[in-house]
Structure 1
């Protein structure tokens, strides 16, 4: 098996992908904007996905690429994917559940454009389409420490997935045959409302944490201060609101591919408990 390039290798998913591949004894190279600070157990090369001209050293000798696009802008994507296709025979792209989000419930539209570019690049491809990331609940860490989470749409139900499961599926796809042209929708094994997610985190931490519904207008002000982009904020709020009446779907894809059930949200909270302290 040829060399595998892992992009987004300093993030929640990419770090697990690079580490798993290295432990399997495979030839791995990681791409990072700051290769000296990445602190990864594999060869790390400096490069920026949004600047295709910086990628040649990282792509040299590469057969497969695990691609995580640093959205939401697709600036530079066409040139980058063209460069990747000149070297690599296959691309495993960490996308989003774009078909389920066709009504723009969430700001995942850039994934659709990146997928289109990959499909027309000439390289073989597999799309991993996870739903909500369990790690996104870390945004509540400070509030959980205070014993109450004030946030909108407490009854929004999601099937959050552990980043370790996404990475395990990515490694399986990168290292086995039969996945070309596949679009795998990945979720956790259960639906939990946001209020239930907070309760589970509190139970794992051994403390009582309650949910308090935050008016949408107040939430929008907070998100605008944090994110700055009004359209991005509004799409996110619309997404959470939609999950109240149309919960995020649950799939068995992780179990079918890995031969074991997807990890629960409680397991994720146990693995990440230190991040809430």
Structure 2
């Protein structure tokens, strides 16, 4: 059963490719830039852009399962023609679909719900990999992490666990019509995260908690727009309950516990040194 992986070079998609290969499934990887994809040997790499459904017909030809993302491009814009992507999947004879949610449901999800496809929506909470995005440069330079809300709880998830759930669903089936929230095994605070990271890299990771106004000023000085600043203050200061409530979806679907942040930190320690 050939599986098409969209967003195949992304944070989660790359792990989906690995998980499918480990399970022995033939993989076709969709990317906008095949020349720079750097995917494992044996993966069929094909060019296409989810934002332009007219580029996708060859990608769907002959596949039985598809891992989709509901956004496109480097700026993570929502898909506006998700219905056309679903039409292609139906015409190609696709049986199963997973959708990695990166924003609110849109035309893609609505179109899937109107079909007989075995679709499953995957809604992870905060990615552990965001730690690299926000902290790696600062830690490498030996500087102090400065953020508000040091006591904020997050049930962060390892990106490989998201991928493992997707691969299991696509290969084994039996999850049609389900929407799964995905979390790690434990909710931890921002200060705990700094301590765990410090232990993993074998070097101090200092953390200073900012007030909301200090955080706004810091982010503005770094060139961040006002709209994004206010979004961050709201998201970090008022994390919804779903963001820090641990659920056992990963273990129920894959048969093994979700990976803790300490494991992620050890695996990615080199990024912080």
Q: TM-score, normalised by structure 2?
A: 0.88
Contact 1:50–1:80 (8 Å) recurs in 2 = no
State the shift of 1:92 in Å: 0.5
Q: Choose which of 100, 112, 122 in structure 2 pairs with 1:118.
A: 112
Q: Deviations over 1:189-219 (max 9, x none)?
A: 1111111111111111111212112343453
In the alignment, which residue of structure 1 is the partner of 2:64? 63
Instruction: Name the structure 1 match of 2:77.
Output: 72
Tell me the distance in 1 between the aligned counterparts of 2:221 and 2:33: 27
Aligned to 1:140: 135
- Provide the alpha-carbon RMSD of the alignment: 2.3
Partner of 1:104: none
- In the TM superposition, what are the counterparts of 1:41-190 in structure 2 within 5 Å? 41=40, 42-69=43-70, 70=72, 71-87=76-92, 88-95=94-101, 108-109=103-104, 111-112=105-106, 114-138=108-132, 139-145=134-140, 146-190=142-186
Q: Do 2:125 and 2:243's aligned partners in 1 also have CA atoms closer than 8 Å?
A: no
Change (3 A) 1:83 1:222: farther
> Match for residue 208 of structure 1?
204
Paired positions, count: 264
- Counterpart in 2 of 1:8? 7
Structure 1 residues 43 and 244 mapped into 2: Cα distance closer, same or farther (>3 Å)?
closer
Deviations along 1:209-265, one digit per CA (max 9) or x if unpaired, are 121123434534555677866444433321111139986110011111222221100
Q: Which runs of 5+ in 1 are unaligned?
A: 97-107
| Aligned residues of 1:156 and 1:245 also touching (Cα < 8 A) | no
**How far apart, CA to CA, are the structure 2 residues paired with 1:177 and 1:224?**
47
Give per-residue Cα distances to partners, 1:1-30, cap 9 Å, x unaligned.
Answer: x32100111012111111221233222100
In 2 relative to 1, CA 231–123 (structure 1 residues): closer, same or farther, beyond 3 Å?
farther
CA contact (8 A) 1:51 1:80 kept: no
Task: Give yes or no for contact 1:151–1:212 (8 Å, CA) kept in 2.
Answer: yes
Contact 2:83–2:107 (8 Å) recurs in 1? no
Structure 1 91/153 Cα, relative in aligned 2: closer, same or farther at 3 Å?
same
Shift of 1:95: 1.6
Contact 1:173 1:179 in 2 (8 A): yes
Give SS of 1:115's match.
helix
Whether the 8 Å CA contact 1:144–1:202 is kept in 2: the answer is no
Matches within 5 A, 1:197-236: 197-220=193-216, 223=219, 230-236=226-232
Judge conservation of contact 1:202–1:208 (CA < 8 Å) in 2.
yes
